[in-house]
Amino acid sequence: MKKNIAKFNFFSREKNQNIKNKKYQAALIALMLFCLSPLHAQRDPININIIVDSSASLSSVKQNIESWLSFRLDEIIVTGDKVTIWSASARADVIYENTVNAPDDKEAIKESVRNITPSGYSADFSGALQQAARQTPGSYTYTLLVSASSESLSSLITGPYGSLIRYSRVEEFTSWRALVIGLNIDSRVRTAASAFINN
């Protein structure tokens, strides 16, 4: 099922001359590796955002996505994390929001994903990402977006809010993708690049 692909992508249509600077690239990649690397159990609680494509495209891959998400959630969630889940179809709706305090809370998170009903022909990823960015400005977050089809993701990339996934790590599967997205890290990228270049 899974293609063995995991890569960093810049989803930005802007032409930035600094990107051509190798030192800038090195600093940017180093920061992205830090911000987008898999979470470890030994850490402080953070905000975790899960955005799931609930358009009609989900129907054919729902079982695979549920299974993968269940495993991933076991890997990343620790006691004290604040978890918010969006269902993204014609609009983005919060379907779960709670702080994890007990094992039952993790099961409730998985159940909310299992209860998603596919509908409609679009996925409002930009709406969910904007909400996530607004509710956690300046804080470190782990944002995971699951797209059930290339069409759903393409509309985000080419749309006016494509910059929201400028910093992301992509895992590609047979017919769907999972993205770990670095929200609100532009200032940290600039600071890291500046420090690297000036040293």
97: domain CATH number is 3.40.50.410
Q: Which of 181, 172, 165, 147 is nearest to 55 (CA)?
A: 147
Report pTM. Answer: 0.79
- For residue 190, tell me if it sits in a domain: no
* Total number of domains in the chain: 1
pLDDT of residue 119: 94
- For residue 41, tell me if it sits in a domain: no
- For residue 131, tell me if it sits in a domain: yes
- For residue 145, tell me if it sits in a domain: yes
pLDDT < 70 stretches in the chain: 1-42, 136-139, 186-199
Coil/strand/helix, residue 75: helix
Q: Which domain holds residue 100?
A: 2-16+46-184
- For residue 28, tell me if it sits in a domain: no
- For residue 199, tell me if it sits in a domain: no
Q: Which tens digit of pLDDT belongs to each residue from 66-91?
A: 999 999 999 889 999 999 999 999 99
Helix, strand, coil abundance in the chain, percent, nearest 5: 45, 25, 30
- For residue 194, tell me if it sits in a domain: no
pLDDT of residue 136: 67
pLDDT of residue 8: 39
> What's the CA gap between 66 and 74, in Å, rounded?
12
| Backbone angles phi and psi of 95, in degrees to 5 | -110, -10
- For residue 102, tell me if it sits in a domain: yes
